[in-house]
Amino acid sequence: MKTIIAEKPSVAREIARIVGATKREEGYFEGGGYAVTWAFGHLVQLAMPDGYGVRGFVRDNLPIIPDTFTLVPRQVRTEKGYKPDSGVVSQIKVIKRLFDASEQIIVATDAGREGELIFRYLYHYTGSTTPFVRLWISSLTDKAIREGLRKLEDGSKYDNLYLTAKARSESDWLVGINGTQALSIAAGHGTYSVGRVQTPTLAMVCERYWENRRFTPEAFWQLHIATDGCDGEIVKFSSSEKWKEKESAMELYNKVKEAGCATVTKAERKEKTEDTPLLYDLTTLQKEANTKHGFTAEQTLETAQKLYEKKLITYPRTGSRYIPEDVYAEIPKLLAFIGTQPEWKDKVRAKATPTRRSVDDGKVTDHHALLVTGEKPLFLSKEDGILYHMIAGRMVEAFSEKCVKDVTIITTECAGVEFTVKGSVVKQAGWRAVYGEEKEDVILPDLHEGDYLTIKGVSVTEGRTKPKPLHTEATLLSAMETAGKEIEDDALRQAMKDCGIGTPATRASIIETLFKRGYMERCKKSLVPTEKGLALNSVVKTMRIADVAMTGEWERELARIERGEVSADAFHREIEAYTREITSELLSCDKLFGSRDSGCACPKCGTGRMRFYGKVVRCDNAECGLPVFRLKAGRTLSDDEIKDLLTEGHTKLLKGFKSKQGKSFDAVVAFDGEYNMTFVFPEAKKGKKFSGRKK
């Protein structure tokens, strides 16, 4: 008998049908000489510190660096600590029995880093010695599964992938466990979670937040002139320069108005070609789904996974935007299939040789770019349909012709001021016609150097400089992909992928972790750090735990382990040294959490005393621990204002708060019924004397 192990029951069911394992047993299917079983994600994980005899958060125990990591069944948290999940333990017993009774194991977990780790941890935990082979496929269509089963590969081919996954898992444990314990010990109260990727990601969100909030807009003025164009149309030129002083702009405005005509100093005409976009990888799909449809990164990943399991798209957790030659051979057939769907009926241009920009064997990693599979997309939910058609539409764009335009730039001069205007005429819409994105032609008159233009009108406009906007999930994913470096060019972004932070498969969960731990929140599409997030970042922002570039270097090293260029042991030694360094650094920041008595009893429990720390005021009763963060909407509350809040339940009317949109406002800070800090606005009082907490 051979045992096939899949990552999820739904995938196991599809494989079982194809191999003839139709008899349902407890925890597996059987038949045709096969047993087909499944995991539920990670059934086995690294033990928590108490698995090594280390209990509680104790300074002298740090850093916790196990000689050998222990594997345990996935655990659940209870009032008495962590204990093994009973359902997981039962399934592991089934898997062990099947492994031991088999002549061969076929590994059919997801074909990626985490899928490999799920199997290998199970294999080692069960103590199995049964030889195993790998099913490596990029889609779950019947054809792909059958071809994969005919081309099973020796399991050892993926040893480096496993070593990479193991190194990532152990490094995240070392940094997360030690960093969190060290910072929480230094703080003296509460738990402050930090992580190898989580903390640098929060740092990027906080840095952008402060850059945005501290930005001071500056006014500028710009001149414009209007002249006759083609067919009675007016052509509007704008000054190349912008002036910070209104007086300077108005002085030139009067001179230009008085001159009455402008001279053409340059007329450039050139053909501009816009390459087709590359196919989607997961991160690019997440970014565009967020920008265009408001999907969260996690929502996009979950939806893509559903489409994959419905056999409608190829493997979603891909980091490549290219396909290999053998897959390119299938593209005409897939495009023809897309063209049969109502949404794309008139958009697909049939041709024998589609554009090859997204074809490059050398740039395909574990999996190629996202494609539809040719299976009919029936009965899709709204979300599923949006994402499916995004992938189909991108395929149509990627294999269309280039967009070609004639671009004209005309420069004129009047009274010493340079003015320019740009026009373009689309010669070949190409890929931009897929979504009708080609803009209306801007046709300029046939002007040449030395021509004189009569000015029909002069105007001056006032503008204000704008800060970089707050991060959205789309821009944060871009920043994670390039370790914070701002890169627009597709090809350069691809080259940076090895030193981004996180991976396509993990970035969504990192972002969600920051939400779950209360470090940031969504404000429409913007990501805004909470007071808790800003307080944490203010403590660690200059430390190595928050270093984005260094975290990117770790990702580069992990990619090199996968390629067999460096040893996992060397990486592990570096991480151990780094863990000792950040543990020491975080423990030493206890001075930032130094406390003093506020002179106030805790308004919540009534027995504890409220103590001032650097960024927070907290009850010293361990069973209560009520936190009051000093920072509220961009304003730090003074000691006296905090005392008013603690004793009266509210402050006086305070000025200088800033909304999430950057607007200043005045408000009273008060406790609600759960002792959360909230705002009460003057207009809400309706002339009545403010009586205390807002309920």
* Sequence-separated (6 or more) residues with CB below 8 Å from residue 211: 467, 468
How many C-beta atoms lie closer than 10 Å to residue 516's C-beta?
Answer: 10
Last residue of a domain, which of 378, 399, 420? 399
21/85 same-domain check: yes
What pLDDT, on the 0 to 100 scale, is given for residue 487? 58
**Cα of 339 vs its chain's centroid, Å:** 32
Task: Provide the 3-class DSSP secondary structure of residue 216.
Answer: coil
Helix (H) or strand (E) holding 459: strand 457-464
Residue 647 maps to a domain? yes
pTM: 0.82
**CA 199 – CA 489 distance, rounded (Å):** 27
Task: Provide the 3-class DSSP secondary structure of residue 693.
Answer: coil
φ, ψ for residue 586, nearest 5 deg: -70, -40
From 169, 43, 160, select the one nearest 109 (Cα to Cα).
Answer: 43
Kindly provide the residue ranges of all beta strands, DSSP E only, lying in 15-60, ordered along the sequence. 23-25, 28-31, 34-38, 44-46
User: CATH code at 516?
Assistant: 1.10.460.10
User: CATH code at 240?
Assistant: 2.70.20.10
From 137, 117, 194, 215, select the one nearest 537 (Cα to Cα).
Answer: 194
Tokens of 28: 């597996």
DSSP symbols for 530-578? -HHHHHHHHHHTTSGGG-HHHHHHHHHHHHHHHTTSS-HHHHHHHHHHH
Torsion-angle region of 32 (φ positive above 0: left; ψ -120 to 50: alpha; else: beta): left
Residue 695 maps to a domain? no
What pLDDT, on the 0 to 100 scale, is given for residue 659? 81
- Candidates 34, 162, 308, 315; catalytic one: 315
What pLDDT, on the 0 to 100 scale, is given for residue 690? 46
Residue 562 maps to a domain? yes
205/225 same-domain check: no
134/8 same-domain check: yes
Tokens of 360: 């490059």
The domain tally of the chain equals 5
Last residue of a domain, which of 533, 559, 588? 588
24/138 same-domain check: yes
User: CATH code at 349?
Assistant: 1.10.290.10
Q: Which residues of 535-561 are buried (b: 16+ CB within 10 A; e: fewer)?
A: bbbebbbebebbbbeebbebbebbbbb
Task: Provide the 3-class DSSP secondary structure of residue 19.
Answer: helix
Q: Which domain holds residue 366?
A: 282-399
| Tens of pLDDT, residues 553-590 | 888 899 899 999 999 999 999 999 999 999 999 998 76
Q: Which residues of 564-577 are buried (b: 16+ CB within 10 A; e: fewer)?
A: eebebeebbeebee
What pLDDT, on the 0 to 100 scale, is given for residue 579? 96
**CA 3 – CA 30 distance, rounded (Å):** 9
131/43 same-domain check: yes
142/11 same-domain check: yes
121/144 same-domain check: yes
**Bridge partner residues of 236 (DSSP):** 226
**CA 242 – CA 240 distance, rounded (Å):** 7
**CA 197 – CA 481 distance, rounded (Å):** 12
Residue 157 maps to a domain? no
φ, ψ for residue 357, nearest 5 deg: -60, -35
Q: Determine the residue type at 30.
A: E
Tokens of 686: 């309706």
322 is catalytic: no
What pLDDT, on the 0 to 100 scale, is given for residue 682? 74
φ, ψ for residue 442, nearest 5 deg: -110, 100
**CA 403 – CA 653 distance, rounded (Å):** 58
From 610, 588, 589, 587, select the one nearest 600 (Cα to Cα).
Answer: 610
94/207 same-domain check: no
* Sequence-separated (6 or more) residues with CB below 8 Å from residue 150: none
DSSP character for 444?
P
Last residue of a domain, which of 100, 118, 151? 151
**CA 253 – CA 265 distance, rounded (Å):** 20
564/606 same-domain check: no
Helix (H) or strand (E) holding 107: strand 104-108
| Tens of pLDDT, residues 331-380 | 999 999 999 998 898 888 766 678 999 999 888 877 899 999 999 999 99
Helix (H) or strand (E) holding 254: helix 246-259
Task: Provide the 3-class DSSP secondary structure of residue 372.
Answer: strand
What pLDDT, on the 0 to 100 scale, is given for residue 164? 95
What pLDDT, on the 0 to 100 scale, is given for residue 58? 92
φ, ψ for residue 344, nearest 5 deg: -120, 10
**CA 372 – CA 368 distance, rounded (Å):** 12
Contact 313, 392 (CB under 8 A): no
**Bridge partner residues of 679 (DSSP):** 669
Regions of the chain short of the pLDDT cut 70 = 231, 350-352, 438, 486-498, 590-595, 614, 683-695
Residue 689 maps to a domain? no
106/18 same-domain check: yes
Q: Which long-range contacts (CB under 8 A, 24 or more apart) does 645-650 make?
A: 645/669, 645/670, 645/671, 645/677, 646/598, 646/600, 646/601, 646/602, 646/603, 646/610, 646/617, 647/600, 647/603, 648/692, 649/603, 649/692, 649/693, 650/680, 650/690, 650/692, 650/693, 650/694
Tokens of 265: 């100093």
Residue 694 maps to a domain? no
Residue 686 maps to a domain? no
416/387 same-domain check: no
User: CATH code at 90?
Assistant: 3.40.50.140
What pLDDT, on the 0 to 100 scale, is given for residue 694? 41
654/560 same-domain check: no
- From residue 574, give the alpha-carbon distance in Å to each of 171, 201, 570, 619, 620: 10, 21, 6, 39, 39
Helix (H) or strand (E) holding 223: strand 219-228
Tokens of 614: 């650097």
**Bridge partner residues of 611 (DSSP):** 597, 618
Residue 416 maps to a domain? yes
